[in-house]
A and B are shown apart, each in its own frame.
Chain A
């Protein structure tokens, strides 16, 4: 029965499907937290001295919050107060650096009595709201530099403050907003550039700067030629060049070894031996040649070539290739610096362990090793609820918070993991579909922000437990123990639901 004035009722126009998934995940999380704290001395799931009992309280309060958002707070308020809320949270984010308590080296928690909360979590809500507000303005064009910078600043400000709080993991989630920006018209090359940057970083650390720069040259030139539909010409020019340069180190080493016996030892032997090798042949100075500079020098002529061609053909895409190349080379050279000087010791360790540069089963590798053992031992159907040995004896650290997925993996097996991941995919999928159907830009953009955050948490957290990502301490949304995280995602999801409902009421 449509009511012309009140609109459709909540029963008709509300996305109950999403609420169902939400509740399912929360309950699954709670049951698994109980399994995680469960030990050989059984206790009740409502034991308030344990994480599972406390989580029950968090769940109840989260549901009250959800009800408030649905029935009490006027939905229009979110858009109109977004600037205010954003500023307020920024103040909190800065304040926590000075007033917060130190937990495992990061200053990002406020402690009020027994309750602790993390402004970095709430900041996801306010940043999403403000982004939705700004991007939905009629004259906003993401392709315009000024507008793009504004949006970037809204994301970067809380992100940088959170980095300053030494919560790099939480800050990483903000990178996810790029997916929302992409949906709103940001060039896809942006995503590609970020992907290339990550590839460069990893290649430089695992292989060498030489390989890394060669790969950049190959990819960038290939893309430029493909854009003009001239793959064959690329093969004849850059293809050959890349092939030669790829083989060069091997050839060079063989040649040197023939001219200067023992040349391969240079840089590894002790100075005295090195001197002896160098003075043994008139070709010795060749051994000092650094191939990296040869590569850079031979690649250099390509730069004016690209610039002139792009100018002649008015092809700005080709013009962009030059700064991309230069940025790539700079990134390669700064990688060592970033890696050794900007990252903190434990972060460096985690990346090294992930990339297999270092084996460390007792230190940084311990968590991942234990977590993979727990998950891997689950098999197809798991060991059964409360029967996980790894989980029961507490081998996996942080098991009810960041490593909650281990419990699922061990006790419910691949089937359980599949169901949980499926639920998350359905949740994100549902949010995106609802967002796409929305006529309100604000609702759509906000929906994408929410989907991006959920996606980043999902990928980073589960990726970490199965050794695909370095150990980055962020919770699994709705499932991990912790009030801040549960509240944040509850609020975010229900704001979206109420916005969505508000709109469907009348259309």
Chain B
């Protein structure tokens, strides 16, 4: 029997319709489970927030913990007329704020429907307890426990970073990871390790009836998901040192960065003025105040500010000269209050002359390093000053300058080291020579480095030629760090060259007053500190005070850089601060003889010297 094709298709149509109807018959009439689900009306997801991971310092001390706070939630549909004054009194909020909020809910009632809104955020437990006693008088209102950040030590707001509610832009950038109302780390360590710290939200599914009342667990909790608490983070920070650094830097503008040279671990990272940890917990409330502060406390100077390095950069120039073979430690150069070229001169301070390399570092002679850079750039090995300069730049970059170091700290900037092309653009090809860029000899001119990079230079010198990329998170259970933080990065200068400048750094600190050493103030008996001062010109007022040092001389435990804006000579402020921190770190206390120095630093107020924007 042959059936016509059109009939076959019509039969197919009827069969498909029958399949659909059979299925409908099954779920609508035979199977009761859907009706049960529907009378229960539907599932409510009760989100469970994980506790955020705790942040520890390197010695296991908690620097950021959690504490309990309560949000007051309201389901506008369920609210009945209530005593506004009583509620305001209990919650300790202005009556007006309750009235405006309720008016707003009323206006948007269509959009809100049966949703529950957050009315007041982060009320302390005591307030909530008072509310809980009278909660029965306020149908529709309830408290929801939330965990917020707690800061047992003052480790500096810029380092730790703050946690705040995600905004629309953030949600868009991280699709599917957050819902509005979630909190996320926005700066500092909180942002750097947001993925580990935040944990995973969970939920309980409940069934609710058509009057929006919770009836039971959906399928006995089979589909529920428990919240996974965030991972704890162990940082490389030394809380005691960090806190001490914060105190020393109070009322001064600048940064201090300390690194453990043998690992690249950042021991402390102070940016001053910074955000107070008291403000961090409730950043939203203080946001306006912080943003309008003329000293820009949000700006993390330690990793973002590009400063001229000043004389500490002489170490780099000296090392390059040694490696290029245009400098030997025994070479002496004369200096008569500076380096004279034509009718001009690059000035220097009064010291004896001539000096060899060690003495030039010890006394920070400008003239000497003009000769060094001159010999480097006018080296016959290179056809012209451009190619010699390019080689010089390669060396400088190998020290981690001119680019981001790649630390795990967010928002790090890279500073600038000019290229020969840059000078070609300004002066024309062949239109510039050594004397045009002579300021680079002493770390001035078109050069910008961050305090982190300066500290890294110090660590590199302390390690005799290599560094580990500075980082703030230690490996711990459940938290891995990028293998790049475990690799030695060698500079282009041989390790054998470094002891030649280290001798100079040692003598700069340990030669005693009257010897001409620039950093005698930093000397601590028995600690063998090696250091180099810097005084960098600042076009906006007094010179910046710079100091780097590490100790002890053999197997250094700490390398530190202090950079203070408009604070004058390196020896005046930066050297005391850095050496006090070293002393604190290595001995745990400040010796009696140095107490007056500590006193002077703690009391020093340099804020007025800094020009505000």
Contact = CB atoms under 8 A, between A and B. Distances in A.
A90 interface: no
Interface of A: 39-41, 179, 182-183, 359, 361-362, 370, 372-380, 389-390, 393-395, 409-410, 413-414, 417-418, 421-422, 424-425, 428-429, 432, 436, 455, 459, 462-463, 466-468
Contacts of B479: none
A389 B41 contact: yes
Interface string B13-39: 110110111011101110101110111
Interface string B483-498: 0000000000000000
Nearest to B33: A376
Contacts of A422: 17
28 contacts: A39-B113, A179-B9, A182-B5, A182-B9, A183-B9, A370-B42, A372-B27, A373-B37, A373-B42, A375-B24, A376-B31, A376-B34, A377-B35, A379-B28, A389-B38, A389-B210, A390-B38, A409-B24, A409-B28, A413-B28, A414-B24, A414-B28, A417-B21, A421-B21, A425-B14, A432-B9, A432-B13, A468-B20
B114 interface: yes
A379 B32 CA distance: 9
B13 A466 contact: no
Contacts of B21: 417-418, 421
A417 B22 CA distance: 11
Given A372-B34, A425-B14, 9 more contacts: A375-B24, A376-B38, A393-B210, A395-B41, A421-B20, A421-B21, A425-B17, A466-B24, A468-B23
Interface in B100-142: 109-110, 113-114
Instruction: Classify chain B's interface size.
Output: 35 or more
Contacts of A362: 45, 203, 223
B38 A359 contact: no
B10 interface: yes
Q: Which of B12, B20, B210, B223 has the most CB of A within 10 A?
A: B20
Contacts of B10: 429, 432
Interface of B: 5-6, 9-10, 12-14, 16-17, 19-21, 23-25, 27-29, 31, 33-35, 37-39, 41-43, 45, 109-110, 113-114, 203, 205, 210, 218, 223
Contacts of A183: 5-6, 9
B42 A393 contact: yes
A464 to B, nearest CB: 11
Contacts of B28: 375-376, 378-380, 409, 413-414, 417
B328 to A, nearest CB: 59
Contacts of A466: 20, 23-24, 27
Contacts of A394: 113
Nearest to A392: B210
Contact of B13 (A376, A414, A428): A428
A414 B25 contact: yes
Give the dominant DSSP class at A's interface.
Answer: helix
Nearest to B31: A376
B5 A414 contact: no
Sorted nearest first, the 5 A-B pairs with minimum C-beta distance are A376-B34, A377-B38, A376-B27, A414-B28, A373-B37
Contacts of B35: 376-377, 379
Contacts, number: 109
B215 to A, nearest CB: 14
B286 to A, nearest CB: 37
A80 B205 CA distance: 60
B41 A359 contact: no
B45 to A, nearest CB: 7
Contacts of A429: 10, 13
A377 B37 contact: yes
B13 A425 contact: yes
A227 to B, nearest CB: 16
Nearest to A40: B113
A390 B41 contact: yes
Contacts of B31: 376
A455 B16 contact: yes
Nearest to B45: A362
A418 B25 CA distance: 9
A462 to B, nearest CB: 5
Nearest to A389: B210
B567 to A, nearest CB: 54
A414 B29 contact: yes
B110 A459 contact: no
Q: Which of B37, B203, B210, B218 has the most CB of A within 10 A?
A: B37
A414 B23 CA distance: 10
B221 to A, nearest CB: 13
A455 B13 contact: yes
Q: Which of B13, B114, B218 has the most CB of A within 10 A?
A: B13
Nearest to A390: B38
A122 B110 CA distance: 36
B200 to A, nearest CB: 14
A317 B603 CA distance: 100
A139 to B, nearest CB: 21
A387 to B, nearest CB: 11
Contact of A377 (B13, B17, B34): B34
A393 B114 contact: yes
Contacts of A377: 34-35, 37-39
Nearest to B6: A436
A114 B368 CA distance: 74
A370 B110 CA distance: 22
Given A39-B110, A373-B37, A468-B23, A380 B13 contact: no
Contacts of B9: 179, 182-183, 432
B34 A373 contact: yes
Contacts of B45: 362
Contacts of B13: 425, 428-429, 432, 455
Contact of A375 (B12, B19, B27, B218): B27
A64 B16 CA distance: 33
B20 A459 contact: yes
Nearest to B223: A361
Contact of B29 (A359, A370, A379, A436): A379
B518 to A, nearest CB: 62
A242 B471 CA distance: 64
B223 to A, nearest CB: 6
A331 to B, nearest CB: 24
Nearest to A361: B223
A40 B27 CA distance: 27
Given A389-B41, A455-B16, A466-B20, A41 B110 contact: yes
A468 to B, nearest CB: 6
A179 B210 CA distance: 45
Nearest to A414: B28
Given A375-B24, A417-B28, A395 B42 contact: yes
Contacts of B23: 466-468
A413 B27 CA distance: 11
B422 to A, nearest CB: 40
B10 to A, nearest CB: 6
A390 B210 CA distance: 9
A361 B223 CA distance: 8
Contacts of A462: 20
A382 to B, nearest CB: 9
A108 B483 CA distance: 45
A393 B41 contact: yes
Contacts of B109: 41
A500 B21 CA distance: 31
Contacts of B12: 179
Contacts of A459: 16, 20
Nearest to A382: B28
B19 to A, nearest CB: 7
A113 B263 CA distance: 61
Contacts of A414: 24-25, 28-29
A410 B21 CA distance: 15
A256 B19 CA distance: 44
Contacts of A40: 113
Contacts of A379: 28-29, 35
A114 to B, nearest CB: 20
